[in-house]
Amino acid sequence: MDIANIVILTGAGISAESGIATFRGPDGLWNGHRVEDVCNPEALARDPALVHHFYDARRAALDEVEPNPAHLALARLDAAWPGELLIVTQNVDDLHERAGARRMLHMHGELRSALCAACGVRERWTAPLPPGTPCHACGQPMLRPDIVFFGEMPYAMERIDEAIARADLFVSIGTSGAVYPAAGFVRTARHHGAATLEMNLEPSAASFFFAETRTGAAGTLVPAWVDQMLG
Ligand code: NAD
């Protein structure tokens, strides 16, 4: 099959070798917290200090990490690929863009961004974000981490769906296949006739739906795949 258009979905596993913890560690916790305690709108309403502090710590930790060979390889593919290409990341870190990727979007938000819950304006944010911080646009003390919590609508779904419908190849890297709607993208891609490839440390909840699964570390598998694509 001739491949012109590619959609690449990435998850927490692609950043693991950079030193960012994946979603559920062996203890079932995410950086010491139950996911339900820090990643939903009810938690934000009930205990804003806890949720803001959690994301402040994740944001500050970005200063300590660097893109790994998997991020760098995808940036190389992005720069060289003549067809359509879109990297859809579920990650809220900024390692894809720091590696140099341009054709990408964050479907679950970004740590280095703040969102006004009152007026919807976003601003780049690199410092701690205490609850009650006023929005520069509307003045309401409603700035929150620009993170898509459970139960909220992921960003850019229309653009993602359109790209998947046009894709000849759908690739998933370092994602557990357990968080929807991203976990359903492979089925949409297949429905539209795309080839499908998964690269993950171990078979995932979605492996069954991929035509090919390569198991191993993203930092090894992804550069080899990009060499193959650009070969
Ligand atoms: P997940 O933590 O549920 O799953 C990560 C997957 O990556 C697992 O299947 C694991 O086997 C695999 N993996 C671990 N190390 C790997 C490696 N070196 N190479 C290849 N694969 C590896 O992550 P998810 O599926 O992305 O879902 C988690 C949600 O949590 C997402 O919505 C994301 O927004 C958020 N999250 C983001 C970050 C981040 O921004 N870096 C970190 C943790 C969680």
Lowest-pLDDT range, 122-126, 177-181, 207-211? 177-181
Query: Where is pLDDT greater, at 230 or 32?
Result: 230
Give the 3-state secondary structure of the chain. CCCCCEEEEECCHHHHCCCCCCCCCCCCCECCECHHHHCCHHHHHHCHHHHHHHHHHHHHHHHHCCCCHHHHHHHHHHHHCCCCEEEEECCCCCHHHHHCCCCEEECCEEEEEEEECCCCCEEECCCCCCCCCCCCCCCCCCEEEEECCCCCCCCCHHHHHHHHHHCCEEEEECCCCCCCCHHHHHHHHHHCCCEEEEEECCCCCCHHHCCEEEECCHHHHHHHHHHHHHC
Find out whether the beta carbon of 140 lies less than 6 Å from any atom of ligand 1. no
Partnered with residue 66 across adjacent β-strands are none
* pLDDT for position 157: 98
**Residue 121: pLDDT above 90?**
yes
Find out whether the beta carbon of 155 lies less than 6 Å from any atom of ligand 1. no
Find out whether the beta carbon of 10 lies less than 6 Å from any atom of ligand 1. no
* pLDDT for position 32: 85
Domain 6-20+66-108+154-230: state its class. Answer: alpha beta
Q: What is the pLDDT of residues 18-49, one digit of tens each?
A: 999 888 777 777 778 888 889 989 999 999 99
* pLDDT for position 82: 97
Mutate which of 23, 200, 215, 225 for ligand 1? The one with the most ligand atoms within 8 Å of its CB, which is: 23
Find out whether the beta carbon of 13 lies less than 6 Å from any atom of ligand 1. yes
Q: How far is the CA of 66 from the centre of ligand 1 (A)?
A: 16
Q: How far is the CA of 16 from the centre of ligand 1 (A)?
A: 7
Q: Where are the domains of the chain?
A: 6-20+66-108+154-230, 21-64+110-147
Q: Does pTM surpass 0.85?
A: yes
Q: What is the pLDDT of residues 55-113, one digit of tens each?
A: 999 999 999 999 999 999 999 999 999 999 999 999 999 999 999 999 999 999 999 99
Lowest-pLDDT range, 18-22, 28-32, 119-123, 167-171? 28-32
Mutate which of 64, 175, 215 for ligand 1? The one with the most ligand atoms within 8 Å of its CB, which is: 175
Percent of the chain with pLDDT over 70: 100
Which ligand 1 atom sits nearest the alpha carbon of residue 147?
Answer: 34
* pLDDT for position 192: 97
Q: List residues with catalytic annotation.
A: 108
* pLDDT for position 23: 81
Which ligand 1 atom sits nearest the alpha carbon of residue 11?
Answer: 26
Residues 6+ apart with CB under 8 A from 36: 43, 150
* pLDDT for position 35: 84
CA-closest residue to ligand 1 atom 7: 13
Q: Note the CATH number of domain 21-64+110-147.
A: 3.30.1600.10
Work out the mean pLDDT of the chain and round it to a whole number: 95
Phi, psi of 6 (to 5 degrees): -125, 135
Mutate which of 14, 15, 22 for ligand 1? The one with the most ligand atoms within 8 Å of its CB, which is: 22
**Residue 1: pLDDT above 90?**
no
* pLDDT for position 130: 98
